[in-house]
Amino acid sequence: MVGGRLNATVPFDYLRERGWSWLLDGDRLHETIGCSIVDTAHIVVLDALSKSDLATARNAAETACRAAPYDDICRLDLVKVAATEGHDDAADQMLTDDVFNRTDDHLSPIDLLEWTGEVVGKQGWNSARRTGSH
Protein backbone atom coordinates (compact mmCIF):
# COMPACT_ATOMS: atom_id res chain seq x y z
CA MET A 1 0.00 0.00 0.00
CA VAL A 2 1.11 3.52 -0.73
CA GLY A 3 -0.29 6.45 1.23
CA GLY A 4 -3.03 4.29 2.74
CA ARG A 5 -4.19 3.12 -0.72
CA LEU A 6 -3.45 0.04 -2.71
CA ASN A 7 -0.86 0.60 -5.39
CA ALA A 8 -3.05 -0.47 -8.34
CA THR A 9 -1.48 -2.07 -11.39
CA VAL A 10 -2.65 -4.00 -14.42
CA PRO A 11 -4.66 -7.04 -13.24
CA PHE A 12 -2.50 -10.18 -13.09
CA ASP A 13 0.63 -8.12 -13.75
CA TYR A 14 2.70 -10.13 -11.28
CA LEU A 15 2.19 -13.67 -12.54
CA ARG A 16 4.36 -16.53 -11.36
CA GLU A 17 6.56 -18.17 -13.98
CA ARG A 18 4.30 -21.23 -13.84
CA GLY A 19 0.70 -21.50 -12.79
CA TRP A 20 -1.01 -18.80 -14.84
CA SER A 21 -1.73 -20.62 -18.10
CA TRP A 22 -5.40 -21.03 -17.09
CA LEU A 23 -5.80 -17.33 -17.93
CA LEU A 24 -5.29 -18.09 -21.63
CA ASP A 25 -8.21 -20.49 -21.78
CA GLY A 26 -11.89 -19.61 -21.89
CA ASP A 27 -13.06 -16.10 -21.05
CA ARG A 28 -9.59 -14.53 -20.71
CA LEU A 29 -10.36 -13.22 -17.25
CA HIS A 30 -7.29 -10.99 -17.15
CA GLU A 31 -8.68 -8.94 -20.06
CA THR A 32 -12.26 -8.92 -18.75
CA ILE A 33 -11.19 -7.56 -15.37
CA GLY A 34 -9.37 -4.60 -16.94
CA CYS A 35 -12.46 -3.74 -18.99
CA SER A 36 -14.65 -4.04 -15.90
CA ILE A 37 -12.41 -1.67 -13.97
CA VAL A 38 -12.52 0.86 -16.83
CA ASP A 39 -16.31 0.62 -17.14
CA THR A 40 -16.83 1.02 -13.39
CA ALA A 41 -14.34 3.89 -13.16
CA HIS A 42 -16.05 5.64 -16.09
CA ILE A 43 -19.36 5.59 -14.21
CA VAL A 44 -17.63 6.91 -11.09
CA VAL A 45 -15.91 9.68 -13.10
CA LEU A 46 -19.17 10.80 -14.70
CA ASP A 47 -21.00 10.78 -11.38
CA ALA A 48 -18.18 12.60 -9.58
CA LEU A 49 -17.94 15.24 -12.30
CA SER A 50 -21.70 15.83 -12.11
CA LYS A 51 -21.22 16.51 -8.37
CA SER A 52 -18.05 18.59 -8.88
CA ASP A 53 -16.08 16.01 -6.87
CA LEU A 54 -12.88 16.38 -8.86
CA ALA A 55 -10.70 14.40 -6.43
CA THR A 56 -12.88 11.31 -6.79
CA ALA A 57 -13.10 11.76 -10.57
CA ARG A 58 -9.32 12.02 -10.87
CA ASN A 59 -8.70 9.06 -8.57
CA ALA A 60 -11.11 6.85 -10.55
CA ALA A 61 -9.65 7.90 -13.92
CA GLU A 62 -6.05 7.39 -12.77
CA THR A 63 -6.88 3.98 -11.28
CA ALA A 64 -8.50 2.88 -14.54
CA CYS A 65 -5.49 4.11 -16.55
CA ARG A 66 -3.19 2.00 -14.39
CA ALA A 67 -5.44 -1.06 -14.71
CA ALA A 68 -5.89 -0.72 -18.49
CA PRO A 69 -3.09 1.46 -19.86
CA TYR A 70 -4.12 0.99 -23.51
CA ASP A 71 -7.79 1.90 -23.09
CA ASP A 72 -9.08 5.13 -24.64
CA ILE A 73 -12.06 5.50 -22.28
CA CYS A 74 -9.95 6.00 -19.17
CA ARG A 75 -7.49 8.23 -21.04
CA LEU A 76 -10.30 10.48 -22.24
CA ASP A 77 -11.80 10.50 -18.75
CA LEU A 78 -8.48 11.72 -17.38
CA VAL A 79 -8.31 14.44 -20.05
CA LYS A 80 -11.85 15.53 -19.13
CA VAL A 81 -10.95 15.67 -15.43
CA ALA A 82 -7.84 17.75 -16.12
CA ALA A 83 -9.83 20.16 -18.29
CA THR A 84 -12.55 20.44 -15.65
CA GLU A 85 -9.89 21.20 -13.04
CA GLY A 86 -8.79 24.10 -15.22
CA HIS A 87 -5.56 22.44 -16.37
CA ASP A 88 -6.21 23.07 -20.07
CA ASP A 89 -2.56 22.87 -21.11
CA ALA A 90 -2.11 19.54 -19.30
CA ALA A 91 -5.35 18.23 -20.82
CA ASP A 92 -4.19 19.28 -24.29
CA GLN A 93 -0.81 17.62 -23.72
CA MET A 94 -2.44 14.37 -22.54
CA LEU A 95 -4.78 14.42 -25.51
CA THR A 96 -1.87 14.90 -27.90
CA ASP A 97 0.56 12.44 -26.30
CA ASP A 98 -1.74 9.79 -24.87
CA VAL A 99 -4.57 9.74 -27.43
CA PHE A 100 -3.73 11.29 -30.80
CA ASN A 101 -0.05 10.33 -30.98
CA ARG A 102 -0.09 7.26 -28.73
CA THR A 103 2.12 4.34 -29.59
CA ASP A 104 1.76 1.01 -27.86
CA ASP A 105 4.79 -0.66 -29.38
CA HIS A 106 7.33 2.11 -30.11
CA LEU A 107 6.21 2.28 -33.75
CA SER A 108 4.27 5.07 -35.40
CA PRO A 109 1.08 6.31 -33.68
CA ILE A 110 -1.93 4.02 -33.82
CA ASP A 111 -5.09 4.99 -35.68
CA LEU A 112 -7.82 6.51 -33.55
CA LEU A 113 -10.81 4.31 -32.92
CA GLU A 114 -13.98 5.69 -34.52
CA TRP A 115 -15.56 5.97 -31.06
CA THR A 116 -12.59 7.97 -29.78
CA GLY A 117 -12.87 10.38 -32.69
CA GLU A 118 -16.58 10.86 -31.96
CA VAL A 119 -15.92 11.62 -28.28
CA VAL A 120 -13.15 14.06 -29.15
CA GLY A 121 -15.45 15.82 -31.64
CA LYS A 122 -18.35 16.04 -29.20
CA GLN A 123 -16.07 17.53 -26.57
CA GLY A 124 -14.85 20.15 -29.04
CA TRP A 125 -11.25 19.06 -28.58
CA ASN A 126 -8.96 19.96 -31.44
CA SER A 127 -8.59 16.88 -33.65
CA ALA A 128 -5.94 18.72 -35.67
CA ARG A 129 -3.55 17.80 -32.86
CA ARG A 130 -3.30 14.29 -34.31
CA THR A 131 -0.31 15.63 -36.20
CA GLY A 132 1.36 16.54 -32.92
CA SER A 133 1.12 20.28 -33.50
CA HIS A 134 0.01 22.58 -30.68
Does residue 9 fall inside a structural domain?
no
Phi, psi of 61 (to 5 degrees): -65, -45
Q: In this structure, which long-range contacts are made by residues 5-8, counting pairs with CB atoms below 8 Å and at least 24 apart in sequence?
A: 8/63, 8/66, 8/67
Q: Is residue 14 part of a domain?
A: no
Instruction: Give me the pLDDT at residue 26, please.
Output: 58
Does residue 65 fall inside a structural domain?
yes
CATH number at residue 113: 1.25.40
pLDDT digits (tens, 9 = 90+) for 48-76: 999 999 999 999 999 999 888 888 899 99
Query: Is the residue at 2 inside a domain?
Result: no
3-state SS assignment for residue 5? strand
Model confidence band, residue 35 (pLDDT cutoffs 50, 70, 90): confident
Partnered with residue 2 across adjacent β-strands are 5
Q: How far is the C-alpha of 85 from the C-alpha of 32, rounded, in Å?
A: 31
- 97: in domain: yes
51: domain range?
21-131
Residue 26 placed within a domain: yes
6 within a domain of the structure (yes/no): no
* Residue 92 within a domain: yes
Query: Exposed (0-12), middle (13-18) or buried (19+): which is 37, by Cβ within 10 Å?
Result: buried
Average pLDDT over residues 18-22: 58
Query: What are 97-129's pLDDT values in tens digits?
Result: 888 777 666 666 666 667 666 777 677 766 444
Alpha carbons 101 and 92: distance in angstroms, whole number: 12
Number of domains in the chain: 1
